[in-house]
Copies of this chain bind each other. A is one copy, B any other.
Amino acid sequence: MQNWLTDLKTKTPAPFFLFLSLLVFFPPLSSTAHDRLLADSGPPKDPASLTAQTEHSLENTLPPSNHTGQAALVLISLVVILMGAKLGGDVFERLRQPAVLGELLFGVLLGNLSILGFHGMNYLKTNEVISALAEIGVIFLLFEVGLESNIKDMMEVGVSSFLVATVGVICPMILGWWISSFFLPESGPLVHVFIGATLCATSVGITARVLKDLGKTNEKEARIILGAAVIDDVMGLVVLAAVSGIIKAADRGAIGVSATEIGIIILKATVFFVASIWLGSKIAPQMFRLASLLRIRGMLLVTSISFCFSLSYLASLIDLAPIVGAFAAGLILDPVHYQDLQRRENNGIEELISPIASFLVPIFFVLMGVRVELRTFANPSILTFAMVLTAVAVVGKQACSLGVLEKGLDRISVGIGMIPRGEVGLIFASMGSTLLLKGEPVIISSTYSAVVIMVILTTLVTPPVLKISLERGEKIKRRNGGKQLNSPMVD
């Protein structure tokens, strides 16, 4: 056994092994066992019987067979999702691509097995528990991203970051709007705005990861990119809030949207951010001081999670996405606030949140992939739309280089570093698919697929191109003998 393994190891690529072990752990998708599980988690009871159930209390809280079957189905689904996410992530890291791409594509594979005649995984698209876990996962992700920076860091990166972010939000949005009105002439202007909005936010996670992999995190250009990515995340979320608010208002019957209404919505989103950050910074230290009065262990984790979930809840109460609140919560919390608790528990918030995020975040990305309908790609006009959308997404962010005020920096690399769209674009798209406008979702299945292709391509294209651009920039810097560089093509 051992020899056989060592023997094979030298000849077979590693991912193959994990795929084998995946099969070992996933034997029961044979038709019978699986059908039984599906039947168990099966059709919801009719409303009348459910109402009757709530009359009694305990014995009906857990519908017997349904319960066990549902739990087992969720467990084995999570095994498949987690192992598949890691396998996909590893393959793509070996190809020097971000792991998130592998998770996404594994999801696409899983969600489109029905093309090959296997319909056993379709329940993933509708399972409420897995969908809830994914949503809690993305809340933890944005909380983590928020924790990675703080309000002071955002102030310090200064004017350049802000200008880069602003240009990088406006240009792709206008281009996206224009392209959308060209490709989807029957849709209303709000749909075009929404599609434009999906193009605005750079993915902090992917950008940071790529710069880290290239060992460039401390270059001046890198700091501008990271600062701008954080700011345009916030701007993107404000845009999302504004656009969804406008769409919800329009759907409630408001014919046309007045500038005042737009103003109010933008104001509401901005006020939420400013107020939650300002009030939050005041409340957070008091909150942790109160929490540290409790002697029980685990207060740091539970207090942070509760703070994050509370802001997410408040955000959703005023029609913002819960993740907006989670991100704000992450920005607000600062090690200074909780050093007492941190000393007591020997762990910072980030170390405590990290395992939870490792567990839940891949569920989100795999599920995002599962929801991609490959069948829609058969439509050449959608494919064309996706390619044009990608081109617009790349070109739109190149205007960012105009926002760099400092002389002698590698502006091209800044523009390229802003290209990757990731979680935020996907979140926009999935939010758009839940927003109704005259009974139609704003982002229909085909548009969603086009946005996902755009995310995949922008994420795929960045690492190699950014690498080449940074190396080129360095060569010029060296040729100038340590003098500051004026990139000939940009200045």
B18 touches A293 (CB 8 A): yes
B373 touches A57 (CB 8 A): yes
Chain B nearest Cβ from A133, distance in angstroms: 8
What total of chain A residues lie within 8 Å of the partner, measured CB to CB? 104
Chain B nearest Cβ from A103, distance in angstroms: 10
B15 touches A294 (CB 8 A): yes
Chain B, Cβ-Cβ closest to A73? B313
B352 touches A355 (CB 8 A): yes
Contacts of A85 in B (CB 8 A): 302
B68 touches A316 (CB 8 A): yes
Chain B, Cβ-Cβ closest to A444? B59
Contacts of A68 in B (CB 8 A): 316, 434
Q: Which positions 352-366 of chain A face chain B at CB distance < 8 Å? A: 352-356, 358-359, 362
Contacts of A461 in B (CB 8 A): none
A64 touches B435 (CB 8 A): yes
Query: Which residue of A47, A67, A306, A435 has the most chain B CB atoms within 10 A of its CB atom?
Result: A306
Chain B nearest Cβ from A487, distance in angstroms: 34
A286 touches B322 (CB 8 A): no
Given known A-B contacts A44-B44, A75-B313, A310-B25, A301 and B433 have beta carbons under 8 A apart: no
B59 touches A50 (CB 8 A): no
B67 touches A434 (CB 8 A): yes
Q: Which positions 57-75 of chain A face chain B at CB distance < 8 Å? A: 57-59, 61-64, 67-68, 70-72, 74-75
Which of B56, B83, B434 is close to A302, meaning CB atoms less than 8 Å apart? Answer: B83
A309 touches B135 (CB 8 A): no
| Known contacts A18-B294, A85-B302, then 19 further A-B pairs from the complex at CB < 8 Å, ordered by chain A residue | A20-B290, A24-B283, A57-B373, A59-B444, A61-B125, A61-B126, A61-B131, A62-B430, A62-B433, A68-B434, A71-B132, A75-B316, A76-B313, A78-B305, A83-B303, A86-B299, A93-B295, A352-B358, A354-B355
